[in-house]
Amino acid sequence: MIRADLSTLPPYVPGSLNGLPLKLSSNESSLGPLPGVTRAAAEALASANRYPDMVAYELRSAIADWLAGPSSLLLDAENIAVGAGSSALIQQAVQATCRGGDAGDEVIYPWRSFEAYPILARVAGAEAVEVPLTPDHRNDLPGLAAAITEKTRLVIVCNPNNPSGTTVTREELITFLNAVPSDVQVLLDEAYVEYVREDGFPDGLGLLADYPNLAVARTFSKAYGLAGLRVGYLVGRAEFIEAVNKVCIPFSVNAVAQAAAVASIGAKDELLARTDETVAQRARVLEHIPEDWRIGSEANFVWLDLGDRARAFEEAIAGYGIAVRCFDGEGVRVTVTDAAETDVVVEALDALAPEFFPRR
């Protein structure tokens, strides 16, 4: 028999092209992997008749060495989990902390935020508890802390938040972490951390030593240009990582993805330099949004708080060949990429501003 509660699950809606030439609906990089990364992937593909390393030891060790260097963290492979994108690791974190069934274990997260959160929680049989964003579209950290009960097992903080692009400060995050009971796991989702240029932004990795109940999720999908290979990583205390790995699907990160991710770490400086271009184009896009409609972003996208006019805007900007991500009745998220694609976006924004961004 099929679980009756599955009929109540919201669908995950991926960004699509909708037959348009410019896809800005999925927060992807417009640049492909570097040649060295492609070569490493091709070499791994040649041995695709063999199973990949199920524990991804080389990749986990490479990530630990990479992250320990600049931050002076004491990390090894036991502190790293890898999965089919950071979303898979978030699901594993839910499964590792929540018992499902009639236990009533809770997962708390901001809303609106990454739309997979409620799906991942409910699939695992957990209670999904949503805490609305603040009026300025930021994570309400005091609200998240206040929502914790004796049944709370996991709290997710998305920083920068998707789809609003807003952030919380280091001081705000520390205050929040101090308010969370030590037996409640906190997962800091930093999928877009490479695009942050804001002073005072908290590097979640730097807080791990002081907060044993904290874990940080990141991904190779965005800044590293490996969205199609699906590989993310989670950093935390060894006991939590062991639990997350226990609920992993065997061989979930394929050999090609592992090889490409290891090569990407080796080319990290060149890959991260690409984010400077995205940040520059993000500033251009924001400049073409009227100031009283502008929501600052530290990610590779901007958020348009259009409310019930979101669908109409999606249809209007499609006339310029642009596919965006519409959250019907709430707003529109527009991915930021390179200069050529941004030229198209700002032209459309300027033309549509009188209709969709009236003076408030």
69: domain CATH number is 3.40.640.10
Q: Is the pLDDT of residue 144 over 60?
A: yes
Identify the domain boundary among 267, 282, 308. 267
Q: Is 69 exposed, middle or buried (0-12, 13-18, 19+ CB in 10 A)?
A: exposed
Average pLDDT, the chain: 95
Q: Is the pLDDT of residue 156 over 80?
A: yes
Q: Are 90 and 189 in the same domain? A: yes
State residue 70's pLDDT score.
54
Q: Are 157 and 43 in the same domain? A: yes
Q: Is the pLDDT of residue 71 over 60?
A: no
Q: Are 152 and 67 in the same domain? A: yes
Q: Are 203 and 311 in the same domain? A: no
Classify 89 as helix, strand or coil: helix
Q: How many CB atoms lie within 10 A of CB 96?
A: 22
Q: Are 306 and 158 in the same domain? A: no
Identify the domain boundary among 234, 267, 300. 267
The whole-number average pLDDT for the span 302-319 is 98
In a domain, 200, yes or no: yes
CA-based angle 256:65:116, to the nearest 5?
A: 55
Structurally, the chain folds into a number of domains equal to 2
State residue 72's pLDDT score.
57
Phi first, then psi: give them for residue 18, nearest 5 degrees.
Answer: 50, 35
Q: Are 326 and 237 in the same domain? A: no
Q: Domain range holding 97?
A: 35-267
Q: Are 161 and 75 in the same domain? A: yes
Q: Is the pLDDT of residue 130 over 80?
A: yes
The whole-number average pLDDT for the span 277-303 is 97
Q: Are 278 and 168 in the same domain? A: no
Instruction: Find the CATH number of the domain harbouring 315.
Output: 3.90.1150.10
Q: Tell me, what amino acid is at 168?
A: V
pLDDT tens for each residue of 168-187 = 999 999 999 999 999 999 99
Helix boundaries (H) for 204-297: 238-246, 255-266, 268-287
- What is the rounded distance in angstroms from the CA atom of residue 350 to the CA atom of residue 360? 17
Q: Are 139 and 201 in the same domain? A: yes
